[in-house]
Structure 1
Amino acid sequence: MKTSTFFTLLFVVGLMVVSILYSGFSCRDDKSDRSIRQRRPVADPRIPIFKSFNFQMDQSTIPNIEHYYEKMKTGSSSCDCPGLKHGPLTGMTRERQRKEHSEWTAENERNREPIAVCHAMSPISYLGSGISVEPLESVRLVGLRFHHDAIMLLQERYRGSELSIAFKTRAHLGTLYVDVPKDELPNVKVEGNATYELEIITRRHADALNSILEHVIFNSTQYVVKGRETIDVVFLDFKVSVNILVQRSVIPVLHDTGPRSSDISHKVTVATKTFGRYSAVNRLVRSIEKRYPNVTIVIADDSKNPEQIQGRHVKQYMMPFAEGLNAGKNLALSQIRTKYFLWVDDDFVFTDSTKLELMLAKLESPGAELDLVAGMLQDKGGGIRPCGKENCWRTMYHRQGKDGHCVHKGKLWQYKTVEEFPNCQVLDLVTDFWMAKTQAVRKTGGFDIELERIGHREFFVDAIGQLRIAQCDDVSILHAPVTNKEYEKYRRMEVQPSEKQRYVDHLLFKNGLQCFESWFPKLISKPLLNDQKRT
């Protein structure tokens, strides 16, 4: 019994070894072209192993690439928003939105990572992705190589027959060529050198294939800022696809913090926007200068009756009257010269708990990989809260349906804390007391100037997928509200009755939304009107 078991195990192990020797990956990605010219040798029945392993793959069993995209989707193809919601747009505005969204989707699909479908039993090893090249430059197709055992079998099986391996570009962003002189490989013929289709043919010298594969080069001939080329490589009935990223290198944008880099004033600028609340903004400046006397303070001001804001390092930029909140934010952002900046509302007050060094440490930590860090809000009674009292959003649920995107309030703790800083919660939205990397915020496009009276959550909607955000409980700032009739009149959209409707319509259109849950129920209580008359 023991002897029988031993031989059974030995037989199973033998099968596994054979499987490992001849298994690999053959990858085919989207938009595959099967028109590459092939030379298919006749199978030799004298070699038993090739009766079951014919170096062939049944292409009819390969699903269409779109099948995989569909299978990746989970849940319903539709979406909706709970509670008080706005949307969808109707009439001609809806048609224009569909057209714009279709163009956006097409551009996203052009830039998405190609799907590579991998099948077992390929004699060729290769790099399916990871090869990149500058436009109008060249790169070797590194990684292409026949398995040693496959070479040995080919030499036995196809003795005296021609073997060929064919290459073809799909996007025609460049050509293919072999840079080996003919006299170095006398028994190898290359057809189509320096064209979109290349074929390497050898007779009686299967071992020469690996030598020549090391010298196959892709030469970019089209100038593109970013493009993707796929090269189909065919040997017998096997096809593998090598993806090449053709991209212009990005020039770094660096910030010199100077010889006194330990001084936070060389790294951080404080920025704010004010409108008719000079008592508040002057109080903010005094509180900053008390604790950080050398930090630059950038203030955008669109007040009706301008006043000079006093401060040693204050830069006050005047704007046309009531130009808008986000226009002011963009103006302030454009004037920041430091690597980081702190955004605050003009009715905030620095306290002993407003420790900018702690926020900066988190942004500078390479392990945390944060782009924006927020603190907490103090009230006059000493309480600490993560955000304002009015319908506090911290995470956002976003889904793309067949007819557009849906956005509504998410679950509070659906994300984890930052591993290096357990007191920091990863979030989508935070209060208007945050420090960020200047270049990271600029790359999002900044702040939408169409939003003149409101502009908080909207920035974070636009930043989804672009900024990694966290809120930490070890830094706080006092919120001491100051108001007046002029401020409230504009803040609550009472100047133009149509302002509320324009605000809703703009958000729906710009973000391709089918609907969004209202985050200001008191401010925008009227449901969206049919816009057929407003085309």
Structure 2
Amino acid sequence: MRKYWVLRRHQKRNLTWSGTSLFEEVTFNQRLKGETEVPLPAEEEQRSQIEAGRWREKGGGRTAAWSGEHSGLPARSEHRPRQPREEGGARDAVTALLSRLSQPLGTRRSEFLRLLMISVFLLGLGTVVFMFRSVEFSSPMPELPHSALADQMLKLLPEERLENLFTYDGIRLFPKNQCKCEATTWQESYNFQDAYGPSELPAVKARRQAEFEHFQRREGLPRPPPLLAQPNVPFGYPVHGVEVMPLHTVPIPGLQFEGPEAPIYEVTLTASLGTLNTLADTPDSVVQGRGQKQLTISTSDRKLLNFILQHLTYTSTVYLRHRVDVVSLESKSSVVKFPVTICYPVIPKLYDPGPERKLRDLVTIATKTFLRPHKFMTMLRSIREYYPDLIVIVADDSKEPLKINDEHVEYYTMPFGKGWFAGRNLAISQVTTKYVLWVDDDFLFNNNTKIEVLVDVLEKTELDVVGGSVLGNVFQFKLLLKKSQNGDCLHRRPGSFRPLDGFPRCVVTSGVVNFFLAHTERLQRVGFDPRLQRVAHSEFFIDGLGSLLVGSCPEVIIGHQARSPAADPELANLEKTYSAFRTNTRNQVRFKLALHYFKNHLQCST
């Protein structure tokens, strides 16, 4: 049975140092009767206290001596020398204890509670230190928390793996700021700038860049960045503007998940004309379906999910010229869709204006003549009066070819009566300058025929065509289209839409007179329908509606030759034949209507 040293509670006795001790040896059961426990001193301390001291009880009148036998401790050997320091230390401890016992009961209780709190604090502190040291020595590599593990996974695929993922026929088709042509042993490669000498290359680069920027401005390039929907449904995604070239790969911008918290996040993307992948380097258990039309992301970490989405890619797998793939993005009951446009960019067709940027390097004059040699020669002389070195290209479908003694004239003959628009096509097909000025063969240049003004307008605006006036006649007209299932309705009205920005005397319209300056490449792209052999003009602007931006500057004026009949009988006979070709027949009018109905998908016009 366990034994404790206890001090009995005496409410009416005073305790003094004497030969009588109040300590008794009690059992555990006696301790439960409300007796106050006193900490047991060390064994040697107890022996010194018992053998050296005597307890005296006042009021009883008797003295009792205690020895080791009463204490329950083994008797101290008398032959063992005492240690004076230990005896003195023990005596001091007993004295301190007795002084505390002599204090009032309330004071002793508060002192006891204070010691108890200090003991509990020290015990707790020791426990924490012990646990910390134990963890430090037993776990030199502690397990990382979940977020730290996710951070380690936020990395991209290595470069060599990207090379294999986005390569087609040996060519890496992944967007980068720069490209280079690296040929294999059985291929040839060409560096085009080597065609220029080192001294002229800087100037060529400057001109090339200026022309390219003008081309981009007219084409609306570069495209504005994709329009992104902010995450609230619960996805962020691109609403518009994602474009990819056929067989190429592009990153999909703006993908983000902002849905509610969940133990597992699962997101699925599906495409139809391409495949999906991610640049994030993650296990196959997290991203399933790499390089396929359906890709699924499954993870418990929200940060990792968004990292994967932010590095998602789309690869066009079918060679298509212009198509739109609709990609779906799903998570539980939430579904969003966004378009990916598959198309090639417009390849620039730039014209070098030369180091001095002379007008002759920018503009070519083109015309078509038929059975009016005297009219053409008069017009040519007026050109040479103001522009002696401009190239003039002539298409002629007369019976007899002209004899022209001018080194700056290119003369092309055609079968007789081949047609008005066929001659236009032939003439503009031979133009090699950036701009072409179209004139009729009976016009007259004068002081107000300022080609430079028209060039300045095209250089500083996005216009494709800008017209002048013929003796004040601007012949401006607007074309308004209304869509319909059975064919569209075309309405033609005189006038213009608005002033031209930067040129208050010029306007934006749909069609102009036969005197106009145009971008050669745009004119060639629309072309002139060779089936229109006789009277035709507005048909060209109808074909160009939607692809040509047309303006008019009436301040640039060209003259017109007199319409009086020629005095020379031979020339008068030619003019008579010309008039017969000039007039539309009933069949030709009917042919025009059928052409508009079928070719232009029109059902009517006003």
Q: Which residue among 372, 383, 389 is the counterpart of 2:465? A: 372
- After TM superposition, the runs of 4+ consecutive aligned structure 1 residues lying more than 6 A away are 116-120
Gaps of 5+ in 2: 1-226, 566-574
Contact 2:479–2:510 (CA under 8 A) maintained in structure 1: yes
**2:286 corresponds to which letter in structure 1?**
K
> Secondary structure at 1:395's aligned position in 2?
strand
User: What is the CA deviation profile of residues 81-103 of structure 1, one whole-angstrom value per residue up to 9, with x for unaligned ones?
Assistant: xxxxxxxxxxxxxxxxxxxxxxx
Q: Is the 2:228–2:236 contact (alpha carbons within 8 Å) kept by the matching residues of 1?
A: no
**CA-CA distance at 1:271 after TM superposition:** 0.4
CA offset at residue 502 of structure 1? 2.2
* Equivalent position of 1:408 in the other structure: 491
Distance in 2 of aligned mates of 1:411 and 1:276: 32
Which of the numbers 470, 473, 476 marks the counterpart of 2:554? 473
Q: How does 1:511-526 map to 2 (within 5 A)?
A: 511-517=600-606
Contact 1:282 1:310 in 2 (8 A): no
Equivalent residue in structure 1 for 2:275, among 175, 181, 186: 175
Question: Structure 1 504/131 Cα, relative in aligned 2: closer, same or farther at 3 Å?
Answer: closer
Shift of 1:252: 1.9
Change (3 A) 1:481 1:499: farther
Cα distance in 2 for residues equivalent to 1:124 and 1:493: 63
Q: 1:137 to 1:118 in 2, by over 3 A?
A: closer
**Residues 109-132 of structure 1, C-alpha deviation per residue, up to 9 Å, x if partnerless?**
xxxxxxx99899423222222222
8 Å CA contact 1:285–1:311 kept in 2: the answer is no
Q: Distance in 2 between matches of 1:135 and 1:278?
A: 52
**Alignment counterpart, residue 452 of structure 1, candidates 525, 533, 537:** 533
Match of 2:435 in 1: 340
Separation of aligned partners in 2, 1:306 and 1:288: 21
* Aligned positions, number: 370
1:239 aligned onto 2:239: no
Q: Is 2:492–2:605's contact at 8 Å kept on the other side of the alignment?
A: no
Cα distance in 1 for residues equivalent to 2:418 and 2:604: 28
User: Does the Cα contact within 8 Å between 1:396 and 1:428 map onto a contact in 2?
Assistant: yes
Pairing 1:485–2:580 present: no
Aligned partner letter, 2:577: E
2:421 equivalent among 326, 330, 333: 326
The corresponding residue for 2:500 is 418
Distance 1:500 1:168 in 2: 53
Q: 1:119 to 1:134 in 2, by over 3 A?
A: closer
TM-score normalised by L of structure 2: 0.58
Q: Cα deviation per residue 1:235-256 (whole Å; 9 max; x = unaligned)?
A: 2222222322222344321111
Structure 1 counterpart of 2:416, which letter? F
Give unpaired runs (5+ residues) of structure 1.
1-115, 379-383, 388-392, 518-535
| Residue-by-residue CA offset, 1:242-283 (whole Å, 9 max, x unaligned) | 32222234432111111221x101100000000011111001
Equivalent residues of 1:341, 1:436 under 8 A apart? yes
Relative to structure 1, is the Cα distance of residues 422 and 226 closer, same or farther in structure 2, using a 3 angstrom cutoff? Answer: same
Matched, 1:435 2:517: yes
Distance 1:201 1:359 in 2: 62
Kept in 1, the 8 Å contact 2:237–2:256? The answer is yes
Let me know the Cα RMSD of the aligned residues: 2.2
SS of 1:423 mapped into structure 2: strand
Instruction: Quote how far apart the aligned CAs of 1:394 are.
Output: 1.2
CA shift, 1:411, in A, is 5.0
Counterpart mapping for 1:67-106 below 5 A: none
Distance between the aligned counterparts of 2:320 and 2:591, measured in 1?
A: 38
CA distance in 2: counterparts of 1:505 and 1:345, whole angstroms: 27
Matched, 1:200 2:297: yes
Once the two structures are superposed, residues 196-250 of structure 1 have per-residue CA deviations (whole angstroms, 9 ceiling, x without a partner) of: 11111113x2232112212322222212222222211112222222322222344
In 2, distance between residues paired with 1:312 and 1:341? 18
Give the structure with the larger helix fraction: 2
1:510 maps to what in 2?
599
Q: Does 1:277 align with 2:372?
A: yes
Partners of 1:167 and 1:298 lie apart in 2 by 58
Secondary structure of the residue aligned to 1:373 is strand
| Percent pairwise identity | 34
- What residue is the counterpart of 1:531 in the other structure? none
